[in-house]
Structure 1
Amino acid sequence: MNARVPVDAPELDFDTPALRRHRRIRALKDRLASGMIGIGGISVIVAVLLICVYLIYEVLPLFERASIRPWQTGQQLSSAYVLADVKGSPLYITTEEQAEIGMEVTDTGEVVFFNAASGKIVQRHALPLPANTHITSFAQPAARGDTFAVGLSDGSALVLRDDYQVTYPNDQRLITPLLSFPFGDTPLQVQSDGQPLNYLALRDSDDALMLVGGHDANLAAVRFDKQTNLLTNEVSLTPTRFSLPQSNHRVQQVLILPGMQWIVAGEENGGLSVFDLRKADKPILSEQLSASKGDITIMTLLLGGQSVLVGDDQGTVSQWFLVRGEKKEWHLQRIRAFSRQGYKVDWIAPEQGRKGFAVAYDDGMVSLYNATAETNSVNRRLFEQSEPLLLGYAPRGNALLTVNSQHQLQLWAVDNEHPEVSWRSLWGKVWYEGYDHPDYIWQSSSAANDFEPKFSLTPLAFGTLKAALYAMLLATPLAICGAIYTAYFMAGGLRRKVKPLIELMEALPTVILGFFAGLFLAPFVEGHLPFIAMALVLIPVGVLLFAFAWAQLPGAIRHRLPEGFDALLLVPLILLLGWLCLSLSEPVELALFGGDARAFLTNQLGIDFDQRNALVVGLAMGFAVIPTIFSITEDAIFGVPRSLTYGSLALGATPWQTLVRVVLPTASPGIFSALMIGLGRAVGETMIVLMATGNTPIMDANIFEGMRTLAANIAVEMPESEVGSSHFRILFLAALVLFAFTFVMNTGAELIRQRLRKKYGSL
């Protein structure tokens, strides 16, 4: 026999050039992959931070302090000046829109137009006063108005109007002031007894002109109805006199509210008298109020003419407007006050484009206030050597023209871009003009120029949470219970088909869901309210009863269906129960609700119903959130080690006990993450709430009422907002609030998730 020659085992060489090259390439790929992943992660963080920084950059100007400084023309700052050869004391000053041309009316009957920055006189006009008369009072124009009047010593009033013509000769802007007499240069008689007009008020509209004036406690009011000749455009006036009751105290100032149905008189004892002219044949003194403990020094109207500003010698400026009481009667209500104790209010100049005003005190201090926000934007001493006499706000709110007691004028630049923004106006209750009580209101725009913006973010934040709450109430139990069954009880073959199908729902665009919810689901829910109510009760109860009945069947029958495929039996059951509820909807509505469930809710139960409401949003947005919560929860449960499950079962626990006491606690960090991600999705959802709700920014927990969310509000109003305006920046603030809410919520969720993982990680 030949001996077998042992064969040496082949030697493996791991250091061949090919293997070295392979290791180098693999190491390079690893470094590139690590670098790319790191760069990607850092880029995401940087992108999020940049978004946050940009939002803060857009929001910060909202909270900048206002400033007043001398007006600058080129390199030259405006200084104090006296108008040349102008005699008498100024009664009124103002500027045109560009703050280039100023106008002064004096008590000698002279109207002077001048360069507002330098004082160079452009035009002079002597008013055509009747012989042996002189000016005794002045009626200021309403905000955004251009018609004013002077009261005369014979009880008449001369009505004037200023205008400015802008031309561009040789491509240079030229502003030409114009003074006209819209109702003729003959004064209109106000006091029939010929007594002088010590105070005067004017209100002009398209169809009428009203003048109210008088002396001491005697008030006279006359309304002139306008008739315009279509050929000559001449306006003829038909007077109607009102027999006003006499005030109890000497009247110092008087104002006419819009509509010419109410007159407010300020009296020497700090009181206010309100006259009701709604019954023209019988005007009444409707109420008398105490506006101040001291003497009233100045009264004027805010933009819009609804609010009366009353300044006194105690340093307080109070705001009043008409409010409808519980008995539907109107009364003058003190709304808010701005106080600087110890200083007399000399003058109040309301802004012509916003609900702000400037106040001059006897110590030379000028303060800028905003009525809506209740803010004091700036305080600056503009009168150093003498007391203030007059203030005039430029129409754009960017300039102040001042006159002191020595008749020196000066033009000041005002930088006050966002006076209507404050913590109170954004998050607190505000008493707006025309409302019976303070409230949270979002209404950013209107067709009227004298509109009071309402920028409360509270109803938007409430609507965001409301929409998310109802969506989560629907999605959470369905998604989590579905994930538990799919991951723990369902057969593997069926799970591999069901899970991708549910996850595919997430790919459906939310705009399609919103379109479906707005055009089909909302009217369907409105017409089938009994069906919705019965389906929410009968389908879960029916499923539980069917499961109980199935468990009672003999094993020979139940085991014919492969284990884990039991859920297939629920498909026809749910369809059958849904069809049954739909069939019973109309008979139940006829029997219990008189054939109209919506009318029953509104009329019998007092529950308001909007077709596009929170219920529709909950159904549609819940459908959109279910895949997110289901997928993460199912992965978390399915990822629980089988050794834990088998060990629990081996120790005698039932599958249900194992699920509740072992599987769910172990998977709780993942389940909690799923809920937080789903909530974040619901909070940030835009298109569904935009299309499926009425977009009404109201605060009502009623499930049948609509809402407006922060995200939907941004989507609706951002395209129409003026860049750089308060509205524009507040929308960015809403985005920042949404960002901060999501960040805080996710941070808190991560902390809780880590605690749950630490607690149950040792199982």
Structure 2
Amino acid sequence: MYQKTIENSPGVDFNTPALKRKRSLRFLKDNVARWAVAVGGLGVIAAITLIFFYLVYEVAPLFKGATITPQSTWTQSIDQDKPSLYMSMEEQGEIALSINRLGELNFRSTRTGDDKARFYLPLPTGTEVTTLTSDSADSTLMAAGLSDGQAIVFKYGHKISWPNDQRVITPVVEYPYGKEPLTLGNASLSDITLADNDRQLFIAAISNGKMVATAFSKEENFLTEEVTLEQQPITLPAIPGTPEQLKIEPDQRWLFVRMTGDEMAIINVARMNQLYLHSVTDLTVGDANITDIQFLLGGVSLLTGDDSGLISQWSMVRDDNNEWSLQRIRDFKLTDNPITSIKPEHRRKGFLAADTEGNVGVFYTTAGRSIIREKLSDGVINQMAISPRSNYLLVDGQNGVEFLRVKNEHPEVSFSALWQKVWYEGYEQPEYIWQSSASNNDFEPKLSLTPLSFGTLKAAFYAMLLATPLAIAGAIYTAYFMAPGMRRKVKPMIELMEALPTVILGFLAGLWLAPLIENNLPGIFALLLFVPVGILLFAFIWDALPSKIRHSVPEGWQAALLVPVVLLSGYVAFSMNTVLEVTFFNGDMRTWLTSELGIPYDQRNALVVGLAMGFAVIPTIFSIAEDAIFSVPKHLSYGSLALGATPWQTLVRVVLLTASPGIFSAVMIGMGRAVGETMIVLMATGNTPIMDVNIFEGMRTLAANIAVEMPESEVGSSHYRILFLAALVLFLFTFVVNTAAEIVRHRLRKKYSSL
């Protein structure tokens, strides 16, 4: 039909070769543009989808369960006459150590049981080893209690060499304080504990049902670096029960004594000349009795197992009166059978527990997780050991020694550890804490995403609190009241602000704005009063001027007169800073806030972030909102004015309602920009992950945390994957907010489309 119309048009030839080529070219351009837009749109959707699935791919391993896989079993080394008192494995999980009553240190292959090396402790004639203990979960310093009341301190290790490019692991045994036994008691030792530091070596034991202890102060020869011990006998205070097991803290402050039954005596040994019984604590509920106690890695928390199958974590905590007391932190349940042994992991806050029926459980304290429970023996497990990397397990059961592979890569992660309050070691109560690393191996990772999410919302809130009213008010005036000539200058200038790199804004905020606010705090708050008052005062004076003067300014250009008014009001506010500070705040508002109101002040705080990030968000909200308001059909405004409505009534009841979908979208896009902002928050805050709504305190956001810690995290580690989880949370938050915004915008458009 279109072709016939062209052919039948009188006086015009539309079928010339030039016009045909032009129509073909235009048709080609239309198709190319249509397909380019479609491909670009689909590409954006595909990119976002791929980002989402990549984040899920990196996060998914965090939530995989643990597994225990048998590798081999060997029985040729089992000797009922010489049962093992202690077992361990070296770093690679290739060589196992077992120590028996005769003082034999047998190093064997973990996979075959073949002998690798054998050493003998220098036991006095006619004695045997009755008890063994290590300095800490990750230490190879040992103390062997003997049947004559003496003890031998030794240290085992493994030297690695590479002859002919082949790795060779050579076991070694050393005696850092000499081979001579140390005298503790006069009878056989049934239990022993030791703690070694740079100052002294402390050893306590149970001999013939009584506690004995001694401390050895250290003196080092600066020339030979040889350490000599000077013995200091110690008299321990009496306890209201029979001692069964002892544990001394690594810092040698508290000595824990498990007594027969369910009570724990706590002795303060911080000062050797002032030892005293601090307290006695009941460790169980009901009629249960304690069967084993062990320190968790670091020696801060104590693990207790009882004959009901319950394992509890305890820690010394200060109360409101600054008094120390032993507090139950959390509980774990293996089975209903009595717990026979507890083995802490070497480098994590996890542990293993075994019961009388051969069941073994793997647990993680911080996350409160019972990771896995499996039956690994047909009866009581004699000894078990876990490798330093927690990837191999050795179980000496009724049917032999079983070597197992443990896959438990991310035990630190649980819903409670990520989002709920957790009672960390050394804290007086459960807290929300993010602290992913420290300077020692005993550190307890604190991986709560709650303070980071809170900081993200806090930064966005204060930024939007500043940006939203200013941007929307500016958009309304620019689109509806401002003269077209002035609008053509103002709008590009504000939009140009968006091109300013955020790293520059963060740099200025951290190094210039933060000190400026700190030194002129009363002046900053005076701005909130002086500027509005100055504008209202100028409006009153302007309205009182003769019409000739007022009409000399072209319609829509009056806003230009407010620029010097705002600058003058700001100058007056800052010039009054010293007077206000001396008059109302004793010369120092920051000190007054802290001392009088109890409000801490950090130089790089949410106020600085709100001003800097608000400045970055304003152009986004302004530009979109201004376009939405300016795009309202003029016939709606003219019709309203023609019916007698004032310009203000027309704005409120017609223009803003019609433009509300666009204004709402502008606010949501601005919020998305504020939530995802990285550099300003990173540089303008103290970057401390705390949960405090105080505007004078800093925060750490999800985006800033990822930027700071991702370069230093180990690829594939729990820390690394939790940072990806933080990115996924940020992605989902933005997706949910934008989806909700689109739904609301659609409803607003539908509601007010009839205007």
Q: TM-score range by the shorter chain?
A: over 0.9
Q: CA deviation at 1:570?
A: 0.5
Indicate the residue corresponding to 2:552 in structure 1. Answer: 560
* Correspondent of 1:571 among 534, 556, 563: 563
Residue-by-residue CA offset, 1:653-682 (whole Å, 9 max, x unaligned): 111111110110000000000000000000
State the alpha-carbon separation in 2 of the partners of residues 459 and 46 from structure 1: 32
Residue-by-residue CA offset, 1:327-384 (whole Å, 9 max, x unaligned): 111111110110134111111111101000111122222111000001111122211x
State the alpha-carbon separation in 1 of the partners of residues 563 and 23 from structure 2: 55
User: Which portions of structure 1, spanning 4 or more consecutive aligned residues, are displaced by more than 3 angstroms?
Assistant: 84-87
Q: CA deviation at 1:567?
A: 0.5
SS at match of 2:696: coil
Q: CA deviation at 1:398?
A: 0.7
Indicate the residue corresponding to 2:576 in structure 1. Answer: 584
Q: CA deviation at 1:688?
A: 0.3
- Are 1:490 and 2:477 matched, yes or no? no
- Are 1:104 and 2:64 matched, yes or no? no
Indicate the residue corresponding to 1:20 in structure 2. Answer: 20
Q: How does 1:467-506 map to 2 (within 5 A)?
A: 467-506=459-498
Would you say the 8 A contact 1:148–1:161 is kept in 2?
A: yes
Residue-by-residue CA offset, 1:383-402 (whole Å, 9 max, x unaligned): 1x332121111011111111
Q: CA deviation at 1:185?
A: 1.4
Indicate the residue corresponding to 2:723 in structure 1. Answer: 731
Q: How does 1:110-509 map to 2 (within 5 A)?
A: 110-191=104-185, 194-215=186-207, 218-292=210-284, 293-383=287-377, 385-405=378-398, 408-509=400-501
Distance change (3 Å), C-alpha of 1:405 and 1:275: farther
Give the residue type in structure 2 aligned to 1:36: A
Q: CA deviation at 1:20?
A: 2.7
State the alpha-carbon separation in 2 of the partners of residues 154 and 109 from structure 1: 14
Q: How does 1:541-690 map to 2 (within 5 A)?
A: 541-690=533-682
TM-score norm. by structure 2 comes to: 0.97
Would you say the 8 A contact 2:433–2:446 is kept in 1?
A: yes
**Which segment drifts farther, 288-297 or 395-404?**
288-297
Q: CA deviation at 1:564?
A: 0.6
Would you say the 8 A contact 1:89–1:108 is kept in 2?
A: no
Q: CA deviation at 1:712?
A: 0.3
State the alpha-carbon separation in 1 of the partners of residues 311 and 136 from structure 2: 19
Q: CA deviation at 1:181?
A: 1.6
Would you say the 8 A contact 2:149–2:207 is kept in 1?
A: no
State the alpha-carbon separation in 1 of the partners of residues 319 and 79 from structure 2: 54
Q: CA deviation at 1:493?
A: 0.5
SS at match of 1:182: coil
Indicate the residue corresponding to 1:83 in structure 2. Answer: 77
Would you say the 8 A contact 1:215–1:251 is kept in 2?
A: no
Indicate the residue corresponding to 1:11 in structure 2. Answer: 11
Q: CA deviation at 1:270?
A: 1.3
SS at match of 1:186: coil
Give the residue type in structure 1 aligned to 2:37: I
State the alpha-carbon separation in 1 of the partners of residues 79 and 729 from structure 2: 59
Q: CA deviation at 1:463?
A: 0.3
> How many residues get paired?
745
State the alpha-carbon separation in 2 of the partners of residues 241 and 522 from structure 1: 59
SS at match of 1:236: strand
Would you say the 8 A contact 1:217–1:246 is kept in 2?
A: no
Would you say the 8 A contact 2:466–2:611 is kept in 1?
A: yes
State the alpha-carbon separation in 1 of the partners of residues 210 and 515 from structure 2: 62
Residue-by-residue CA offset, 1:576-597 (whole Å, 9 max, x unaligned): 1111011100111111111111
Give the residue type in structure 2 aligned to 1:414: V
SS at match of 1:269: coil
* Correspondent of 1:519 among 505, 511, 515: 511
Q: CA deviation at 1:117?
A: 1.1
Q: CA deviation at 1:134?
A: 2.5
Give the residue type in structure 2 aligned to 1:92: Y
Would you say the 8 A contact 1:82–1:409 is kept in 2?
A: no
Indicate the residue corresponding to 1:3 in structure 2. Answer: none
**Which segment drifts farther, 56-65 or 14-23?**
14-23
Q: CA deviation at 1:25?
A: 2.0
State the alpha-carbon separation in 1 of the partners of residues 190 and 587 from structure 2: 68
Give the residue type in structure 2 aligned to 1:716: V
SS at match of 1:198: strand
Q: CA deviation at 1:198?
A: 1.3
Distance change (3 Å), C-alpha of 1:29 and 1:426: same
Q: CA deviation at 1:153?
A: 2.1
Q: CA deviation at 1:141?
A: 3.6
State the alpha-carbon separation in 2 of the partners of residues 534 and 133 from structure 1: 84
What are structure 2's unaligned runs of at least 5 residues? 1-8
Would you say the 8 A contact 1:629–1:677 is kept in 2?
A: yes
* Correspondent of 1:710 among 688, 702, 706: 702
Give the residue type in structure 2 aligned to 1:672: F
Would you say the 8 A contact 1:266–1:272 is kept in 2?
A: yes
Indicate the residue corresponding to 1:6 in structure 2. Answer: none
Give the residue type in structure 1 aligned to 2:25: I
Give the residue type in structure 1 aligned to 2:547: G
Q: CA deviation at 1:86?
A: 7.9
SS at match of 2:126: coil
SS at match of 2:136: coil
**Which segment drifts farther, 232-241 or 254-263?**
232-241
Residue-by-residue CA offset, 1:578-620 (whole Å, 9 max, x unaligned): 1101110011111111111111111111100000000000000
Indicate the residue corresponding to 1:74 in structure 2. Answer: none
Indicate the residue corresponding to 2:3 in structure 1. Answer: none
Residue-by-residue CA offset, 1:495-550 (whole Å, 9 max, x unaligned): 11000011110010000000000000000000000001100122122212322332
SS at match of 2:604: coil
Residue-by-residue CA offset, 1:439-463 (whole Å, 9 max, x unaligned): 0000000111111111000000000
Give the residue type in structure 2 aligned to 1:116: T
**Which segment drifts farther, 181-190 or 608-617?**
181-190
SS at match of 2:574: helix
State the alpha-carbon separation in 1 of the partners of residues 24 and 530 from structure 2: 66
State the alpha-carbon separation in 1 of the partners of residues 365 and 592 from structure 2: 43
Give the residue type in structure 2 aligned to 1:504: L
Indicate the residue corresponding to 1:532 in structure 2. Answer: 524
Distance change (3 Å), C-alpha of 1:141 and 1:413: farther
Q: CA deviation at 1:154?
A: 2.1
Indicate the residue corresponding to 2:59 in structure 1. Answer: 59
Indicate the residue corresponding to 2:4 in structure 1. Answer: none
- Are 1:757 and 2:749 matched, yes or no? yes
SS at match of 1:388: coil
Give the residue type in structure 2 aligned to 1:609: Y
**Which segment drifts farther, 202-211 or 304-313?**
202-211
Residue-by-residue CA offset, 1:126-176 (whole Å, 9 max, x unaligned): 222112323222223412201111111222111111011111111111101
